[in-house]
Amino acid sequence: MLRLDASQADFPPAFTALVNARREADSDVSRDVAAIIARVRAEGDAAVADLTQRFDKHDLLWSIPLDECRAALDGLPADLRAALNLAAVRIRAYHEKQKPEDSDSVDATGTRIGARWRGVDAAGIYVPGGRAAYPSSVLMNLIPAKVAGVERLVMVTPTPDGEANPLVLAAAALAGADAVLRIGGAQAVAALAYGTQSIRPVDVITGPGNAWVAEAKRQVYGVVGIDMVAGPSEIVVVADGANDPDWIAADLLSQAEHDPTSQSILFTDDAAFADKVAAAVERALTTLSTEATARTSWQDNGAIILVPTLDAALPLVDRLAPEHLELAVADPEPLFAKVRHAGSIFLGRHTPEAVGDYVGGPNHVLPTGRARAFPPACRCWIS
């Protein structure tokens, strides 16, 4: 884990190296994905079947009956179903407010002008299914598409050894998927983009995935629309010494446990607090079922940065343009006003980033990898 002090003479080049460090996969991924896409375009179902057997170790029928998804929803324990329902209601309410309004007017020359907004005909939703299952990603992708009026929603998700996660199926039923396919990886993205003998192509592909999925989305963009090329997850926390170090450690690890290439960074103006958080992270790591992944992420990509004032952290935060940003201070508004580049911002000491992953309402599918131009400013906030 990297420790930096903004008052030291070697800080500028060291921080620049941190900003510019690439955590994405190497060029071999691009080559391999291009070959997979070419196979799917040429061979259709046969290529998807072969690659599914190779990577997911099954040759089951791809289509999961919607009745099976509904049964998974009906069979959930009451507390889990209530949690999914709460998340779905909040996500739907937030995205309803994001819908653009049609316009129709006559200007000073007597010319009638306007705009009419409609959802696309079909969207493909990618839901990860490798390291972990993410029913929250089902809701975060399907519900906004439903709100937008998309007519056909096709969800794809890898199912290692053919085993589908019941929570993912339940979320698909709750959110209103029109089809659920047990395929994943770059081959699933290619099948959605170009179509196969049994899979109709879509207009837009959304959702997070591993490096191969992200690269596949990059390569099919233009044939279809995509939401973004999302890379490894990120969290930046700006915190003073009045916080509980165990809480801040938990927030930092909330993204580190996702993937070894995820990144967690703390800015603080209190050197003693920085030491306490570092120790708290070490303690917390030993309690995680995902310890190996989180530890690699923290050791390889994590950082604690000491700054003279928290105000001084904000230009540095903008250079990082993090996916998630926590402003863990008593009065976050002055700092919040100065943030230009971040995905979701969490305001105050009692607003952990995990709220946004599940029930906050704003979408958790966000730009990563210093994608300052997409968007040019922060997207949403929770307090």
Report residue 375's pLDDT band, with 50, 70 and 90 as the boundaries: low
Query: Same domain, yes or no, for 235 and 334?
Result: yes
Please say whether the beta carbons of 133 and 163 come within 8 A.
no
Q: Residue 311 domain-assigned?
A: yes
Range of the domain at 88: 56-96+120-226
Query: Same domain, yes or no, for 277 and 220?
Result: no
Q: Residue 61 domain-assigned?
A: yes
Give this prediction's pTM: 0.88
Query: Same domain, yes or no, for 169 and 275?
Result: no
Query: Same domain, yes or no, for 217 and 235?
Result: no
325 Cβ contact list (under 8 Å, min separation 6): 235, 236, 237, 238, 317, 339, 342, 343, 344, 345, 346, 378
Last residue of a domain, one of 176, 193, 226: 226
Q: Residue 185 domain-assigned?
A: yes
Q: How far apart are CA 71 and CA 87, in angstroms?
A: 20
Task: Tell me the pLDDT tens digit for each residue of 60-104.
Answer: 999 999 999 999 999 999 999 999 999 999 999 999 999 999 999
Query: Same domain, yes or no, for 317 and 187?
Result: no
Q: Residue 27 domain-assigned?
A: no
Q: 355 is written with which tokens?
A: 């709220």
Q: Residue 18 domain-assigned?
A: no
pLDDT higher than 70, residue 131: no
Task: Tell me the pLDDT tens digit for each residue of 253-291.
Answer: 998 988 888 999 999 999 999 999 999 999 999 999 999
Query: Same domain, yes or no, for 366 and 241?
Result: yes
Q: What is the pLDDT of residue 376?
A: 47
Backbone angles phi, psi at 232, to 5 degrees: -60, 145
Task: Tell me the pLDDT tens digit for each residue of 312-369.
Answer: 999 999 999 999 999 999 999 999 999 999 989 999 999 999 998 888 888 887 777 7
Q: Residue 46 domain-assigned?
A: no
Q: What is the pLDDT of residue 21?
A: 84
Q: Residue 175 domain-assigned?
A: yes
> In which residue are the tokens 């460090």 written?
21
Q: What is the CATH number of the domain that holds 290?
A: 3.40.50.1980
Query: Same domain, yes or no, for 212 and 81?
Result: yes
Query: Same domain, yes or no, for 275 and 148?
Result: no
Q: Average of pLDDT values for 11-19?
A: 94
Last residue of a domain, one of 226, 241, 274: 226
Query: Same domain, yes or no, for 131 and 196?
Result: yes
Task: Tell me the pLDDT tens digit for each residue of 147-181.
Answer: 999 999 999 999 999 999 999 999 999 999 999 99
Q: Average of pLDDT values for 48-61?
A: 95
Instruction: Count the domains in the chain.
Output: 2
Q: Which residues are catalytic?
A: 323-324
Last residue of a domain, one of 226, 252, 282: 226
Query: Same domain, yes or no, for 174 and 319?
Result: no
Q: Residue 2 domain-assigned?
A: no
Query: Same domain, yes or no, for 354 and 250?
Result: yes
Query: Same domain, yes or no, for 213 and 352?
Result: no
Please say whether the beta carbons of 350 and 377 come within 8 A.
no
